[in-house]
Amino acid sequence: RAAQGRAYGNLGNTHYLLGSFMEATAFHKERLAIAKEFGDKAAERRAYSNLGNAHIFLGRFDVAAEYYKKTLQLSRQLKDQAVEAQACYSLGNTYTLLQDYERAAEYHLRHLLIAQELADRVGEGRACWSLGNAYVSMGSPAQALTFAKKHLEISQEIGDRN
């Protein structure tokens, strides 16, 4: 049964990489059920991330957000800050797709704080870029400028000419 869970996960990933998102979703749901059966929180967390990602490409941003929230919740339980940061970043982007810029900014800010804590300059730069965009959309150009400047500073530091 445990091997079956891993096989479902691998099949889900393979369909995802082939761009078959419906099939990927079906396999990841099976994987999720087995992870729950075993109380395997790490596998459950992975399944939620994979399900969130697949729903982005199915255009179901609302469903993706719910899966990413489950990922976030479990990453905190598992005390995995890198995954927590990634979940916040995914949620920020998902709420941008849902055009809920305030909530997007909330998650991008949470991502920024964790990236700073982890001294992840690349992550910090991405968070600043996203926050600049969110504040522009919210009609707050002064705050957007602060983050755009920070984004420039970090990009120069890490040599990201793009």
Partner 1 sequence: GQRLHLMQVDSVQRWMEDLKLMTECE
Residue 6 near partner 1 by CB under 8 A:
yes
- Report in angstroms how near the CB of residue 114 gets to partner 1 at its nearest: 16
C-alpha separations of 140 from 16, 96, 114 in Å: 38, 16, 24
Q: Which is nearer to partner 1, 25 or 53 (CB)?
A: 53
- What binding mask, one character per residue, do residues 36-75 give for partner 1 by CB under 8 A, x or -? -------x--xx-xx--x--xx------------------
Residue 136 near partner 1 by CB under 8 A:
yes
Measured at the alpha carbon of residue 19, what is the angle toward residues 13 and 20, in degrees to the nearest 5? 75
Q: Which is nearer to partner 1, 27 or 157 (CB)?
A: 27
Yes or no: say if 94 and 56 are a contact pair by the CB < 8 Å rule. Answer: yes
All residues at 6 or more sequence positions from 20 whose CB lies less than 8 Å from its CB, including other chains: none
Compute the distance between CA of residue 105 and CA of residue 22 in angstroms, rounded to an integer: 30
Residues of this chain that interact with partner 1 (CB under 8 A) are 5-6, 9-10, 13, 16-17, 43, 46-47, 49-50, 53, 56-57, 89-90, 93, 96-97, 126, 129-130, 133, 136-137
